[in-house]
Amino acid sequence: MKELVILQAYELAKMRYAEQGIDTDAVIDALGKISISLHCWQADDVTGFEGATELTGGIQSTGNYPGKARNIDELRADIEMAASMIPAKHRLNLHEIYGEFGGKKVDRNEVGIEHFKGWMDWSNHTGMKLDFNTTSFSHPLSGDLTLSHPDKYIRDFWIEHSKRCREIADAMGSNQGSPSIMNLWIHDGSKDTTVNRLKYREHLKASLDEIFATKYSNMKDCLESKVFGIGLESYTVGSNDFYIGYATANQKIITLDTGHFHPTESVADKVSSLLLFVPELMLHITRAVRWDSDHVTTLNDETIELCKEIIRCDALSRVNIGLDFFDGSINRIGAYVIGTRAAQKALLQAMLEPLAALRKYEAEGQYFQRLALLEEAKSMPWSAVWDMFCLRHNVAVGEEFIPQIEQYEREVLSKRG
């Protein structure tokens, strides 16, 4: 019955969109080719497998919902479960602290490809390609500063870590036949007024130059700025300006985390500017509630506008789409499913936009008409296309994933101590 309703609704929606010259079947096919990079750290509140007891680096996961993944097997099972409720094939974004260390102490400057061999096998098995991140937080040498630390010993430690991470990412990329996107975010900053802002930025620039000296062909580097971290409110070494300058000069990818800007700043508006100067973008789509709170991504105006800009810039091939939230207060698998599906819905709405007509109005100065069509487009039957997309990919349609997650919670998560 439900399937019949979906099919019928789709046929009607298809006709509505055809009137605007939009081929919904082609859009469904195109959306099915977009892989979103699921961040591994929602599954365990950014804990990782180093045995860390505390999350540092100015980030925080709140909530104590039972059932968080405690080891690699549980984390993999959770990600696979989440992926089974998300249409299309996606990627997995790993942090260095999620390596397979076999119970041994492997310090950050000792990590190697061997610690991610298991992940590469898992990737081959599941078809989820891997992206990667250096990890500067939750470590005795993290403090407030890492790559920008005035002490050469500490700087060198993190330089070595970052170099090794690039080598690992390159091995992942070569294994999967698709470059691994390696993000570098460091928390470096200061709680209070800093009077030598230049010095730390000079150190960071020099550290990055050293890290990037080796050229790899199976990985791509991206740099993520932010406004501030918890306990590091007054100064952030890796600010937006710093990384835009560095990435432009060195042709690196810029990571835009939607929680890392001032609350009224439009991240969507950055896409068309940055793409003129840097080779690609990486996104950390998140929902910032009043600040960089890393709430689960939802289908809100910010996410929709961001996706519209990607499509309007015809930039799908130059924008790597990832997520970044860590909510420990709700079922964590549910968080992945909600957040990833929301990003896909935003992409779908963007791909269904009557762009040709809108652009014609704009070019001819018909601004009432442009605004009218933008408004009407919002209530076009995109949800019928979304349901059809899910149906074609054989995953839960609508809220059908709620009982699936409830069952997993009963049978698997509730059994974890």
Residue 133's binding partner out of Zn ion, ligand RNT, none, with CB under 5 to 8 Å set by partner kind: ligand RNT
Q: Do 159 and 113 contact (CB within 8 A), yes or no?
A: no
Sign of CA dihedral 286, 288, 294, 295: negative
Return the C-alpha torsion angle 395, 293, 279, 35, nearest 10.
-10
185 vs 386 by CB, closer to ligand RNT: 185
Q: Is 45 a catalytic residue?
A: no
Q: How far is the CB of 89 from Zn ion (least distance, A)?
A: 23
How large is the angle between the packed helices 24-32 and 332-351, nearest 10 degrees?
140
Count of C-beta atoms within a 10 Å radius of residue 99: 25
Of 115, 226, 270, 345, which residue is the catalytic one? Answer: 226
> Is 260 considered catalytic here?
yes
Q: 294 an active-site residue?
A: yes
Interatomic CA distance for residues 38 and 340, integer angstroms: 8
Counting every residue written for the chain, the total comes to 417
The Cα–Cα gap between 249 and 161 comes to 23
Q: Is 257 a catalytic residue?
A: yes
Q: Among residues 136 and 349, whose Cβ is nearest to Zn ion?
A: 136
Within residues 296-335, the interface with ligand RNT by CB under 6 A covers 324
- The answer to whether 310 and 355 have CB atoms below 8 angstroms apart is no
Kindly name the residue from 294, 309, 353, 387 that is annotated as catalytic: 294
Residue 46, interface with ligand RNT (CB under 6 A)? yes
> Can 292 be counted among the known catalytic residues?
yes
Binding-site member from 50, 170, 280, 324 for Zn ion (CB under 5 A): 324
Q: Which of 224, 280, 309, 409 is catalytic?
A: 224
Is 291 marked active-site? no
d(CA 164, CA 108) in angstroms, rounded, equals 9
Q: Does the active-site annotation cover 144? A: no
Query: Is-catalytic flag, 50?
Result: no
- Does the protein bind ligand RNT through residue 49 (CB under 6 A)? no
- The interface partner of residue 56, options being ligand RNT, Zn ion, none and the CB cut-off 5 to 8 Å by kind, is none
Using CA atoms, how far residue 51 sits from 39, 55, 71, 314, in Å, is 19, 11, 10, 44
Q: Which of these is catalytic: 44, 96, 257, 409? A: 257
Pick one of Zn ion, ligand RNT, none as the site partner of residue 333 (Cβ within 5 to 8 A by kind): none
Please report how close the Cβ of residue 115 comes to Zn ion at its closest, in angstroms.
23
349 is a site residue for ligand RNT (CB under 6 A): no
What does the block give as tokens for 252? Answer: 């690196």
Q: How many CB atoms lie within 10 A of CB 380?
A: 18
By CB under 6 A, tell whether 116 contacts ligand RNT: no
Query: In this structure, what token pair is assigned to residue 91?
Result: 């990627």
Contact call for residues 70 and 95 (beta carbons, < 8 A):
no
Closest Cα partner for 288 from 243, 226, 241, 336?
226
Q: Does 91 bind ligand RNT (CB under 6 A)?
A: no
Q: Is 295 in the site for Zn ion (CB under 5 A)?
A: no
| Helix spans in 177-216 (H) | 197-211
Find the binder of ligand RNT among 59, 120, 350, 355 (CB under 6 A): 59
Report which residue type is found at 171.
A
Q: Which residues are catalytic?
A: 185, 224, 226, 257, 260, 284, 292, 294, 324
Residues that bind ligand RNT (CB under 6 A): 41, 46, 59, 133, 185, 224, 226, 257, 284, 292, 324
Residues that bind Zn ion (CB under 5 A): 257, 284, 324
